[in-house]
């Protein structure tokens, strides 16, 4: 079964809504806006909104759901456009990042533009908590990113790593699920179960992303690899590898050099068991995510959510 097959039509509606929201009459902004539409991502966040909404009351589904799904993708795009400035990244979704195609100042403003449009759409929804919930995501993510930035070049503890990825990805994916369920007026236990599922897949997703930064083929990933360490961000594979009694010191020595040999870092992460450790931790969260769905009605909708967890465990992009 294809990944988001049950919500394929709704995702097409989201893409259409996204194009409308980005349409610009001002010729200068139009160039940036057109560029933003050239490469689309995996649409995980809108798909979660839509899938979670299907677990609610079908009779109560309204255009709110499409609006919310569109808004979360725009919020995500805004964070990526800004994140590439912070991380000094050149490539995004297989194309030059907005900052590379235009400039850092244009990317700052393009991100602001996307945030503003997203919240305009949310302000037009009929259920008041939706806009508050989305604002909380941006707030939590910004605080997480600020603390990550202030930690630059410092080896974080594993505990602070988990806190950091909860703030930047766990809470966002949790909220996507809660937003969908709230827009469809699902019961509180259903919202909570979907929220737990989103939280756990979110943590697994970011651990997977941090692993892909070491292991992926950049042509498939659509963004460069080895980026995190280059900007002084210590992610789980490194945090774990540095603790190893034999290889930890070698890894630390290597990371102290001006231009660490990435292939050698990768080798040390393999032999120290750090790659396996990260995979196991991600799988643990995916198991917890599947378990969170146990009390929801079984059927194709629940299977599709399980399929998303399965995909996160094996993705290469």
- Shortest CB 315 distance to ligand IPE, Å: 8
Instruction: Please name the helix (run of DSSP H) or strand (run of DSSP E) that holds residue 270, with its range, or none.
Output: helix 262-271
**Which 3 state secondary structure label does DSSP give 56?**
coil
Q: Which stretch binds ligand IPE (CB under 6 A): 3-11, 87-95, 96-104, 116-124?
A: 87-95
Handedness of CA 249, 255, 256, 259 (dihedral sign): positive
Q: In the 8-state DSSP scheme, what is residue 154?
A: S
Q: How far apart are CA 67 and CA 180, in angstroms?
A: 10
> How many residues would you count in the chain?
317
Binder to ligand IPE among 24, 31, 62, 93 (CB under 6 A)? 93
Residue bearing tokens 């919202």: 191
Q: How far apart are CA 262 and CA 277, in angstroms?
A: 19
| Contacted entry of Mg ion, ligand IPE, none for residue 17, CB cut-off 5 to 8 Å set by kind | none
Pick the closer one to Mg ion by CB: 224 or 255. 224
Residue 206 touching ligand IPE (CB under 6 A): yes
- Among residues 250, 283, 280, 281, the alpha carbon closest in space to that of 267 is found at 250
- Shortest CB 93 distance to ligand IPE, Å: 5
Pick the closer one to Mg ion by CB: 54 or 148. 148
Residue 127 touching ligand IPE (CB under 6 A): no
For 229, the token pair is 């360490």
- Shortest CB 168 distance to Mg ion, Å: 10
Q: Under rule CB under 5 A, which residues in 72-101 are in contact with Mg ion?
A: 83, 87
* Beta bridge mates, 91: 96
Residues forming contacts to Mg ion in the complex (CB under 5 A) are 83, 87, 209, 213
Residues forming contacts to ligand IPE in the complex (CB under 6 A) are 41-42, 44, 76, 79, 83, 87, 89, 93, 141, 145, 168-169, 206, 209, 223
């Amino acid at each position: 079964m294809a990944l988001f097959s049950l919500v394929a039509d709704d995702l097409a509606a989201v893409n259409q809504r996204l194009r409308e929201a980005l349409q610009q009459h001002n010729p200068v902004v139009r160039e940036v806006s057109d560029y933003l539409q050239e490469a689309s991502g995996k649409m995980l966040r809108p798909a979660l909104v839509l899938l979670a909404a299907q677990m609610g009351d079908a009779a109560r589904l309204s255009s709110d759901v499409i609006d919310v799904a569109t808004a979360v993708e725009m919020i995500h795009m805004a964070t990526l456009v800004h994140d590439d400035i912070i991380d000094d990244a050149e490539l995004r979704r297989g194309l030059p990042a907005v900052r590379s195609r235009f400039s850092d100042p244009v990317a700052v403003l393009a991100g602001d533009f996307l945030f503003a449009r997203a919240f305009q759409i949310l302000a037009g929804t009929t259920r008041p908590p939706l806009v508050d919930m989305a604002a909380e995501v941006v707030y939590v993510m910004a605080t997480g990113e600020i603390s990550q930035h202030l930690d630059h070049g410092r080896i974080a503890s594993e505990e602070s790593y988990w806190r950091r990825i909860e703030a930047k990805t766990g809470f966002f994916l949790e909220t996507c699920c809660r937003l969908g369920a709230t827009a469809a007026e699902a019961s509180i236990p259903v919202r909570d179960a979907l929220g737990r599922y989103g939280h756990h897949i979110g943590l697994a997703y970011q651990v997977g992303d941090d692993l892909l930064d070491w292991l992926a083929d950049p042509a498939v990933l659509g963004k460069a690899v080895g980026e995190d360490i280059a900007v002084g961000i210590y992610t789980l594979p490194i945090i774990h590898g540095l603790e190893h009694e034999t290889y930890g010191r070698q890894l630390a020595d290597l990371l102290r050099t001006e231009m660490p040999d990435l292939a050698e870092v990768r080798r040390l992460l393999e032999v120290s068991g750090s790659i396996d450790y990260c995979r196991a931790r991600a799988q643990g969260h995916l198991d917890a995510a599947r378990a969170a769905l146990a009390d929801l009605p079984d059927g194709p909708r629940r299977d599709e959510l399980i399929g998303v967890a399965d995909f996160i465990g094996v993705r290469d992009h």
